[in-house]
Structure formats: structure tokens, C-alpha cells
């Protein structure tokens, strides 16, 4: 993509993220778990606690990129720093988190995590000093394309992302990606309310678009559709917001509170019905070089 196109996309994404996340850290703290993890959890059972399910999800992604053997990791869309905090506690020496939300960046910096750098920067503008051992991106991919993009344009944007991730990874590195995706629903059937009032100027990918964009760059090691995990997570959030509704209204007013209540209900329903899915994809770069072996022996 040209520099002007990158700049326009980056500004559009930043404005959309600010619309959603700069509602305020105190508001989100009312209904997220203590780590402020704002993405799909991994409950072991329906009776699991939200905090335990979120920690299980963070461990899943860190295990996917072999963080126990890593010296340096990159978190694209780091949110309030939950994954970075776990990685730092487990001894990863150098960590970089990218976010587009100033309030999130301020929160993570205040954690004073060892060896951690936080940048308010779009991945399109990221230029690491050196390759990293692993990359995790949770809940950012949904913001890369816009409703105005054609399918071909979406795939070009996604391919640019995969090209950059591959160039940033050391040999043997991996990318662990988590994203909401269209499933049994076309983009023109998406909720106008969510596209307008919750995540403006954002468009979900499909699994086919992701694999087409990664073709020839990354091998898909594993792929999971954990949509029921996200239905459970949204229901947990909705119940927590309901319990602390009076505090939410005092912080952000009744209109924003009602907007989030509706958004969480609709999202849970969409995941339960299979209209949207939750993809967890682990990818490894294809190795360079030529295959010199023969076929299977008979």
C-alpha cells in the first residue's frame, strides 16, 4: 500500500478505536475482569469464573508463540496490557505493545512492567528495531478493513499485515491471531447499530479472506472457532454491567450505558446463532528454500 493510503487507514482506525475505548477506563473496569481483558475468554466449563477464563485465554496465546522460550514478543492491539503483564511475569525480557487508545497506553505504562514499551501506533507504521520471537494479536484484526472495502481490497490489507508480521519474526517464530469473523452472515446483514454506534468504520473478516491473505506467507498450524466461548464471555460482561448499572450511569450517563447493554446482548445472540464466529489461528512462516526430497516410499 502507498504511504498516503496507509496514513488514511491509520487515521480512520485510530478515530474508530478512540470512539469505542476512550469512553473511559473506569467504565470498563466496572464489568471486565480485574486484568481488564476485553476479548473472548476461554471458559473450561459454564461455571468457570471470568477471571480464570481470561487467564486461560492469555496462556493459550503465549503458549502458541512459545513464550517460555522467547526473549522478545510483540502484542498488536495490547489493550490494557493483560497479556503483556503475564508475559513479563513469566520472564520474557523485552515486550512491545501497540494500541491506538491513549487511555489504554497510559494504563499499561502505569503498570511499570519490566522490559515493556507501549506505543500509540498503528501496525502500518510500526518499524521494530530487531526481529521478535513471537507476535500475538487479539481483537485488533477486526479494525483493519472498512465497510467500503471490496473483498479484494480487504485481502490486500490483510496480506500487508501478514507480510509485515512475517518480516518481523525470527526464524522459528509464530503469530497467534484472535479475531471475530463473519460466519453464517454476509457483511450486508451486519447490525447497523454495532457498525454505527459501537465499532464505526470497521468490517469483520471471513476465514476465507484470512487464509487467502496468508497464502504463501504463513502455514496455518491450528484454527479454532470458539464462538460459544464469546457468547459466554458477552453474557458474563452483560451480567456484570447489570449489577453495577447505577455506577455506570453515574460515570458515562444512561445513553452510553444502554448502548453497551444492547451491544453485549446482540453480540451474545450473534455468537450463539452462528452469525459470527471467534477464530483463534496460530500461524508459522513458511520456510524459505527448495524442497529436495522425493515422494513417500512405497
What pLDDT was estimated at residue 90? 95
Per residue in 219-271, pLDDT (tens digit) is: 999 999 999 999 999 999 999 999 999 999 999 999 999 999 999 999 999 99
The beta-strand segments (E) located in the chain are 72-76, 94-99, 116-120, 132-138, 169-182, 218-225, 276-285
Residue 297 covered by a domain: no
What pLDDT was estimated at residue 185? 79
CATH number for 48: 3.40.50.150
Q: Which domain holds residue 255?
A: 3-285
Cell of residue 73, nine digits: 514478543
What pLDDT was estimated at residue 291? 43
What pLDDT was estimated at residue 19? 46
Residue 294 covered by a domain: no
List % helix, strand, coil for the chain (3-state, nearest 5). Answer: 50, 20, 30
Residue 292 covered by a domain: no
Cα–Cα separations (whole angstroms), residue 165 to 48, 53, 127, 134, 170: 34, 28, 11, 9, 10
CB 38, CB 60: distance < 8 Å: no
Total domains present in the chain? 1
Task: Give the global pTM.
Answer: 0.89
Task: State which residues of the chain have pLDDT below 70.
Answer: 1-22, 187-191, 193-200, 288-298
Amino acid at each position: 500500500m502507498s504511504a498516503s493510503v496507509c496514513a488514511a487507514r491509520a487515521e480512520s482506525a485510530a478515530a474508530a478505536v478512540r470512539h469505542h475505548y476512550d469512553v473511559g477506563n473506569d467504565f470498563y473496569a466496572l464489568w471486565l475482569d480485574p486484568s481488564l481483558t476485553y476479548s473472548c475468554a476461554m471458559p473450561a466449563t459454564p461455571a468457570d469464573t471470568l477471571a480464570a477464563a481470561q487467564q486461560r485465554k492469555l496462556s493459550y496465546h503465549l503458549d502458541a508463540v512459545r513464550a517460555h522460550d522467547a526473549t522478545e514478543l510483540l502484542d498488536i492491539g495490547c489493550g490494557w496490557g493483560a497479556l503483556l503483564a503475564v508475559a513479563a511475569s513469566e520472564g520474557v525480557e523485552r515486550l512491545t505493545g501497540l494500541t491506538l487508545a491513549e487511555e489504554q497506553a497510559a494504563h499499561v505504562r502505569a503498570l511499570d512492567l519490566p522490559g515493556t514499551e507501549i506505543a500509540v501506533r498503528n501496525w502500518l507504521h510500526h518499524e521494530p528495531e530487531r526481529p521478535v520471537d513471537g507476535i500475538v494479536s487479539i481483537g485488533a484484526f477486526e479494525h483493519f478493513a472498512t465497510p467500503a472495502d471490496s473483498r479484494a481490497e480487504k485481502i490486500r490489507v490483510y496480506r500487508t499485515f501478514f507480510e509485515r508480521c512475517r518480516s518481523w519474526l525470527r526464524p522459528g517464530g509464530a503469530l497467534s491471531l484472535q479475531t471475530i469473523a463473519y460466519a453464517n452472515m454476509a457483511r450486508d446483514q451486519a447490525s447497523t447499530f454495532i457498525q454505527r454506534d459501537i465499532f464505526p468504520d470497521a468490517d469483520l473478516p471471513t476465514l476465507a479472506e484470512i487464509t487467502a491473505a496468508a497464502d504463501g506467507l504463513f502455514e496455518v498450524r491450528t484454527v479454532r472457532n470458539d464462538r460459544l466461548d464469546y457468547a459466554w464471555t458477552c453474557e458474563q460482561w452483560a451480567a456484570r454491567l447489570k449489577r453495577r448499572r447505577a455506577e455506570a450511569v453515574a460515570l458515562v450517563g444512561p445513553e452510553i450505558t444502554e448502548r453497551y447493554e444492547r451491544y453485549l446482548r446482540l453480540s451474545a445472540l450473534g455468537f450463539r446463532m452462528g452469525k459470527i464466529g471467534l477464530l483463534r489461528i496460530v500461524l508459522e512462516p513458511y520456510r524459505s528454500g527448495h524442497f529436495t526430497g522425493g515422494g513417500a516410499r512405497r
